Chains A and B, each alone.
Chain A
């Protein structure tokens, strides 16, 4: 609690900026979760596992290729690997379950979580890994007398780009428009002669790609360990709930609220920082039980 006395405006500003860059990762992961929830109506518990796999693959790819190139290539390779893995799972197993109730789908994604968790343990062992960012993104620069890490700036710039990309994807491409239509009324889309099954596959794949991208981006900022899947999935669930299920802008808003309350929590009361975002969620839900923005269903 003695941290309270040291809070200055500058340290608050710095913490807010760090919180905002963390928001980027939260947004990327939870927008993928939200996309899958909105279109497929699956609360994908394995989203966290895919995030973890993304981080581990990033590590392995970056180490294998080596140097700065390794890192930049790994940022592309890891999400692609995760997306391919998810496509295999969707085509091989998940697509046969779409007419079952939510509970079965949830339990299926839980089964995936269990299997992926142990597969990661089998492949990478139980030790943690750490990855250093390339020299370009190392160190920090001066921000009104306080150091601000360069990698966080990189994340801060990347967030809006990903949001823009997602917006273009859902609003300007055929698959995005089909996905939006299928989210509202899948029978009608099928009646128009469109293969809804493949729309679902594409959406699931894109959603999981985002989980992998989140994992890749988080890799240099923390230890890559078993169990990082469990933390992120609960955070992503909360963010999606605050924002409104299936709403991409909701995911952005939710990630902002979560990231900022978490950052301020760390400043005010480090031991129980985690409580702050939850309190924010409860407050939001008391006033808007269906989330801040319109949910798609």
Chain B
């Protein structure tokens, strides 16, 4: 499905989009700059989830915990350490990667649904600790007014930083998926027994993928701190994790850019719906049901399937 990106029309779309994004802050009011920053952050988070979910076949039900830990890692480092804030931005993703390794080691031997249920529970434990540790994390108030580095503190500064980091991260993840490692990972997804039979170290590959995904989830968290200047425990609540899953589903989870597209659509929609009603979750629930019934392969998956009818439409994993 990656051919979507490689062929010419896809390339033009990407080039046009890159050009638009490059001049975005000089074209639109500040609110829209902020909104696109948020879309990029959420898209990076969704793409990092899709690395293990769509390409690794792991039921990572609670991915937002790495987003939250990345953000809190940066925020706490900036608040308590007294070092340059840039260190905080570095510590966040590393903390997320470490947590991903720990949770991964506990969960990775379990089969799909077991994995997912234990992963979501352990993630909730992290949330509960952050939520209750008032003296250190600020409890349910979170931390506000985080002193991000001056160079990237303004709305457009945060935008440029987010755009550059997101682009770099997407490139790295794209390279990871298309590397021999990525191919082996997809082989473990499609048939783990056969992959093990030909000598693949299954758990090793899955753990590495989890750490990479956790790291980039953490990067997204750090970018959120840069854009928003605050953190709160809802960032790592399990409902957010499932919302990211929905974004992957909406965009198409066997495509590389699908989650990015899904995230952009979802963040945009939430903003628009939020103007009219406070019942956003009701709207989201109905959209999700419609998606499950009528568009299970997502937008990009749908377009891809239309273009190449020979390609298998659905992929069962039971």
A111 and B285 in contact, given A104-B296, A241-B117, A245-B114 (Cβ under 8 angstroms): yes
The docked-state distance in angstroms from the alpha carbon of A37 to that of B112 is 13
CB within 8 Å of B: which A253-292 residues:
271-272, 274-275, 278, 281-282, 285-286, 289-290
Which residues on the A side are within 8 Å of B270 (C-beta)?
none
Residues of B contacting A93 in the complex (Cβ-Cβ under 8 angstroms) = 289
Bound CA–CA A234/B127 (angstroms): 12
How long is the Cα–Cα vector from A253 to B21 in the complex, in angstroms? 56
Q: Check if A274 sits within 8 Å of B125, measured CB to CB.
A: yes
Q: Judge if B120 is at the interface, Cβ distance under 8 Å.
A: yes
Chain B residues within 8 Å of A123, by CB:
none
- CB pair A230 B239 closer than 8 Å: yes
- Does the CB pair B117–A119 fall under 8 Å? no
Complex contact B117–A43 (CB within 8 A):
yes
A114-160, CB < 8 A from B: 114-115, 117-119, 121-122
Among the stretches A13-21, A95-103, A164-172, A214-222, the one at the interface with B is A95-103
- CB <8 Å contact, B59 and A118: no
Q: A241-B118, A245-B114, A281-B121 are in contact. Are A102 and B59 (CB under 8 A)?
A: yes
- Is A106 part of the binding interface, using a Cβ–Cβ cutoff of 8 Å? yes
Do A111 and B289 have beta carbons less than 8 Å apart?
yes
Chain A residues lying within 8 Å of B245, measured Cβ to Cβ, are 103, 107, 110
* Majority SS at the chain B contact face: helix
Residues of chain A in range 36-86 having any CB-CB distance to chain B below 8 Å: 37, 41, 43, 45
Q: Which of B109, B116, B124, B316 contacts A234 (CB 8 A)?
A: B124
Measured CA separation A81–B114 after assembly (Å): 31
Cα A271 to Cα B129 in complex, Å, equals 9
Q: How many residues of A contact B (CB 8 A)?
A: 44
In the complex, which residue of chain B has the Cβ closest to the Cβ of A115?
B285
Give residues 97-131 of B contacting A (CB, 8 Å): 106, 109-110, 112-114, 116-118, 120-122, 124-125, 128-129
Look across to chain A and name the residue whose beta carbon is closest to the beta carbon of B125: A278
Chain A residues positioned under 8 Å from B106 (CB to CB):
282, 285-286
Contact B242 A118 (CB under 8 A): no
B132 and A271 contacting across the interface, CB-CB below 8 Å: yes
With A107-B292, A274-B128 in contact, do A102 and B242 touch (Cβ < 8 Å)? no
Q: Does A112 contact B (CB under 8 A)?
A: yes
B122 touches A278 (CB 8 A): yes
| CB-defined contacts of B311 to chain A, threshold 8 Å | none
Q: Which residue of chain A has its CB nearest to the CB of B124?
A: A234
Q: Is A238 an interface residue (CB 8 A)?
A: yes
From B59, B109, B249, B285, contact of A114 by CB (8 A): B285
Question: Across the interface, do B113 and A111 meet the contact criterion of CB distance under 8 Å?
Answer: no
Segment among B24-32, B80-88, B178-186, B276-284 that sits at the interface with chain A: B276-284
Which residues of B lie under 8 Å from residue A271 when comparing CB positions? 132-133
A132→B296 CA distance, assembly (Å): 46
Which residues of the partner chain B approach A238 to less than 8 Å between Cβ atoms?
121
* Nearest A-chain residue to B120, judged by Cβ: A237
Which residues does A use to contact B, with CB under 8 Å?
A: 37, 41, 43, 45, 93, 96-97, 100-104, 106-108, 110-115, 117-119, 121-122, 230, 234, 237-238, 240-241, 245, 271-272, 274-275, 278, 281-282, 285-286, 289-290
A-binding residues in B (CB < 8 A): 59, 61, 106, 109-110, 112-114, 116-118, 120-122, 124-125, 128-129, 132-133, 237-239, 242, 245-246, 249, 279, 281-282, 284-286, 288-289, 292-293, 296, 316-318
* Shortest Cβ-Cβ A-B pairs, 9 listed: A114-B285, A118-B282, A115-B285, A111-B288, A114-B281, A111-B285, A278-B125, A234-B124, A110-B242
